[in-house]
């Protein structure tokens, strides 16, 4: 690992001031540290944001759940308030990695990283999330831009993520047996104003499957999806699953999620 300068920021303003073209924020460190150790990434400055009180915590209001960026997966999984408001979100967090990862990894780090197989991005899409940064609010549909790419500008800090509470929702995935990352994961959410189907693991970036959502808008039942054909175009194909297999999994998990709703 190359040497770097270590900083600990006391608030968002200081964190953003310390950031540069070669810096990373240290939240859970679950991606940044292994990447640095393996020589896949190097930074001049590492800025610890875990001491910024404002970035952590869970608030539930009538219509939304707001989760601070440095809130750990285990805190989301165990939150009674989240279980009551959006139980599928707590279940998603419970299915991430292993206890060590869940007790260090953070929601902000997960969505900033935008791994194509990460779980939280599908929740952001399905639950019409708004990403609050130190500069602006970004709708989830405009946040996830491509593989490991988001709308965040250099040094822009996620402060919290606001999820809309749906009428019904469920997240179903086929986890990689080693890491628990989603080989395919499908998050179905039924809102008063429409349905979203957030899909992760299938393509290079999370997406809202508009065909599945449209079909479910007319008839919210798993049998309504029987005749939907999922195209293999743009689907990932690797040692874990072929494009055809992933396309089948998208449909199978969408049906399972609707049944679980």
Ligand X SMILES: Cc1cc2nc3c(=O)[nH]c(=O)nc-3n(C[C@H](O)[C@H](O)[C@H](O)COP(=O)(O)OP(=O)(O)OC[C@H]3O[C@@H](n4cnc5c(N)ncnc54)[C@H](O)[C@@H]3O)c2cc1C
| Nearest approach, Cβ of residue 215 and ligand X (Å) | 27
- Applying CB under 6 A, does 185 fall inside the site for ligand X? no
- Applying CB under 6 A, does 150 fall inside the site for ligand X? no
| Nearest approach, Cβ of residue 107 and ligand X (Å) | 7
| Nearest approach, Cβ of residue 260 and ligand X (Å) | 19
Q: What is the largest CA-CA distance in the chain?
A: 57
| Nearest approach, Cβ of residue 97 and ligand X (Å) | 3
Shortest-Cβ-distance residue relative to ligand X: 109
Return the residue of 144, 181, 187, 253 that touches ligand X, per CB under 6 A: 181
Beta strands at 45-48 and 5-8: parallel, antiparallel or unpaired: parallel
Q: Which stretch binds ligand X (CB under 6 A): 109-117, 191-199, 229-237, 241-249?
A: 109-117
Tokens of 149: 């790419």
| CA dist list (Å): 28 to 24, 104, 162 | 12, 5, 20
- Applying CB under 6 A, does 109 fall inside the site for ligand X? yes
- Applying CB under 6 A, does 26 fall inside the site for ligand X? yes
Return the residue of 82, 91, 112, 123 that touches ligand X, per CB under 6 A: 112
Residues 6+ apart with CB under 8 A from 4: 36, 42, 43, 44, 45, 46
Q: Which stretch binds ligand X (CB under 6 A): 22-30, 137-145, 210-218, 244-252?
A: 22-30
* Cα–Cα distance for residue pair 244/241, rounded to 1 Å: 8
* Cα–Cα distance for residue pair 254/261, rounded to 1 Å: 11
- Number of residues that make up the chain: 261
| Nearest approach, Cβ of residue 45 and ligand X (Å) | 11
Nearest to 51 by CA among 18, 3, 94: 18
The tally of CA atoms less than 13 A away on the side-chain side of residue 50 is: 12
Give the x-and-dash track for 57-86 against ligand X (CB under 6 A): ------------x---x-------------
| Nearest approach, Cβ of residue 37 and ligand X (Å) | 11
Q: Is the alpha carbon torsion for 106, 19, 40, 113 positive or negative?
A: positive
* Cα–Cα distance for residue pair 79/83, rounded to 1 Å: 6
Tokens of 35: 């990447």
Give the binding site for ligand X (CB under 6 A).
24-32, 34, 49, 69, 73, 96-97, 101, 105-106, 108-110, 112-113, 118-120, 152, 157-158, 179-181
């Amino acid at each position: 690992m190359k040497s770097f300068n270590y900083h600990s920021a006391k608030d968002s303003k200081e964190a953003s001031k310390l950031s540069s073209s070669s810096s990373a924020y240290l939240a859970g460190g679950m991606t940044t540290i292994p990447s640095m150790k393996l020589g896949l990434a190097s930074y001049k400055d590492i800025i610890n944001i875990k001491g910024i009180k404002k970035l952590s915590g869970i608030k539930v209001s009538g219509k939304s759940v707001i989760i601070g960026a440095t809130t750990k997966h285990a805190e989301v999984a165990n939150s009674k308030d989240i279980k009551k408001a959006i139980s599928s979100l707590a279940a998603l967090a419970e299915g991430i990695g292993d206890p060590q990862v869940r007790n260090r990894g953070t929601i902000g780090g997960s969505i900033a990283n935008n791994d194509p197989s990460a779980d939280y991005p599908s929740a952001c899409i399905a639950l019409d999330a708004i990403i609050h940064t130190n500069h602006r609010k970004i709708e989830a549909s405009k946040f996830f831009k491509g593989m490991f790419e988001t709308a965040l500008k250099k040094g822009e800090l996620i402060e919290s993520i606001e999820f809309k509470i749906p009428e019904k929702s469920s997240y179903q995935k086929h986890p990689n047996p080693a890491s628990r990352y989603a080989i395919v994961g499908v998050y179905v959410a039924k809102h008063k104003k429409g349905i979203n189907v957030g899909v992760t693991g299938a393509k290079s970036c999370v997406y809202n499957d508009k065909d599945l959502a449209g079909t479910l808008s007319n008839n919210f039942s798993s049998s309504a999806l029987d005749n939907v054909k999922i195209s293999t175009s743009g689907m990932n194909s690797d040692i874990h699953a072929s494009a055809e297999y992933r396309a089948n999994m998208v449909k199978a998990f969408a049906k399972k999620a609707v049944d679980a709703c």
